[in-house]
Amino acid sequence: MASQDQDGKVNMIPTEILDQITIYAIDHQIDKSGCETLKTLRLVNKAFCQVASRLLFRSVRACIRYDNQTPNQISAGLANLSASDNRHFVFDLCLYHYDSYTHLLPSPESILIQVLQNPPRVLKHFPSLRRVHIMVRSAGQGTLEAIGNLVPDDDVPEGVPFLPFFSVDALIMRKHISSSPLLGLNRSILFYVTPMLRHFHLEFRCMAEKPCIPQALWALRHAVHLESAVLESLGRIMDPIPVNHKPLGLVHPRAPLRSLYIYDTILPLSALLTIIECRETLEVVLFSHVRLSHGRWEVLLREFLVGFPRLRCISLRLCGYVSGIEAQFGFARQITRQYSITGADFRVYRQCVEQLEQNGESSSAVLESKNNAYTVNSTSRLGYRWLGSEAP
């Protein structure tokens, strides 16, 4: 057992506790580098919970490794903690599965299910618990995370052991190598968390899992409370939309979207134009190595710069459309243009566009100007710049 000071708090952690399961205590009163650290939640018994500092249990992280006994031992450790007085000081709980050999297992996500079938009953014994973070990760292969606020509920649907116990407001889904079947839980997770989702991060560098992308995009389009979205390395994610059909939107038309980041992705202009529905809330737009399969960038740029009153930051690193083989393999041989525009430049640009349209001229001339300037007075310049061989 750890030694105690006069106040009954632990002042030295025994080496036998530094094993497999980690608990971090992070509080604004103590520095992260100096916070007390425990390992092996299975060794955190009731007696230890009673004498340890309450700050030790503000944030609990259980790192789950693969063996047959670990899930039951972690559940027992949580039960011991919930039976102590320190249960009132547990605010954050993270269940974190990381194993370098997960790809050798037939069903790595089932380990998480085993662990989560019991903790929901224990979670109700933490009256101050406000945040839950669940992560499944395989080194170099993929990550599936769900982060949410705890909402206790006695009416739990059968077959869903953990999601109804907290309101998930952030979901991170990543996929890099096809050998890891981490996405087996996607359908149930997306179904239950979509109505509550506020932050969504989707990254698929493995095109072998391309059939999973429509499921994730479905969740994105139905997340009515979505505030931020990140789409990375999705390849060509949408087919051309027929003229007589309404294009599928990227986000829900009533979502209070504030920030949008898209990286290394090909999609049609019609899909991006659906973001106009969020014109009253969108504040930040970041596009990097994005290519249009159909349409012209100046159409979208004009909408961003003129039709979004709250937009305060836009950074676009765009790649022009190239037909044939080059359109299918990367962006290396394409000329890249980058626009970085701040709030003050928006006002200048809008004045330019209004003046041009009053004179019956096309506003696209401003966007296509290769001298990188449209002079309103001796000091005003439009806030974008060119990259590559054509840079001034």
Query: Band of the pLDDT at 227, cuts 50, 70, 90?
Result: very high
For the cut 70, the answer to whether the pLDDT of residue 183 exceeds it is no
Same domain, 219 and 84: no
Same-domain pairing of 362 and 242 = yes
**Number of CB atoms found within 10 A of residue 280's CB:** 10
| 200 closest CA partner among 176, 222, 178, 177 | 222
More confident residue, 316 or 82: 82
pLDDT in tens, 54-90: 666 777 777 666 555 666 666 667 777 777 777 887 7
Q: What is the pLDDT of residues 260-299, one digit of tens each?
A: 998 888 888 888 888 888 889 998 888 877 777 877 776 7
Query: Are both 231 and 327 inside the same structural domain?
Result: yes
Mean pLDDT for the stretch of residues 35-51? 49
**CB of 375 closer than 8 Å to CB of 381:** yes
For residue 105, is it left (φ>0), alpha (ψ between -120 and 50) or beta?
Answer: beta
For residues 83 and 151, state if they share a domain.
no
Domain boundary among 75, 90, 105: 90
Provide the pLDDT for residue 26: 31
**pLDDT-based confidence at residue 53 (cuts at 50, 70, 90):** low
Radius of gyration of the chain (CA): 26
Residues 6+ apart with CB under 8 A from 280: 309, 310
Instruction: Please give the model's pTM, rounded to 2 decimal places.
Output: 0.59
Residues 84 and 99 in one domain: no
User: What pLDDT is stored for residue 228 in this prediction?
Assistant: 92
Q: Do residues 27 and 58 lie in contact, with contact meaning Cβ atoms separated by under 8 Å?
A: yes
Give the residue from 225, 158, 157, 217 showing the smallest Cα distance to 186.
217
Task: Specify whether 242 is located in the same domain as 374.
Answer: yes
Compare 337 and 217 and report the one with higher pLDDT: 217
Is 391 domain-assigned? no
pLDDT of 39: 41
Do both 57 and 101 map to the same domain? no
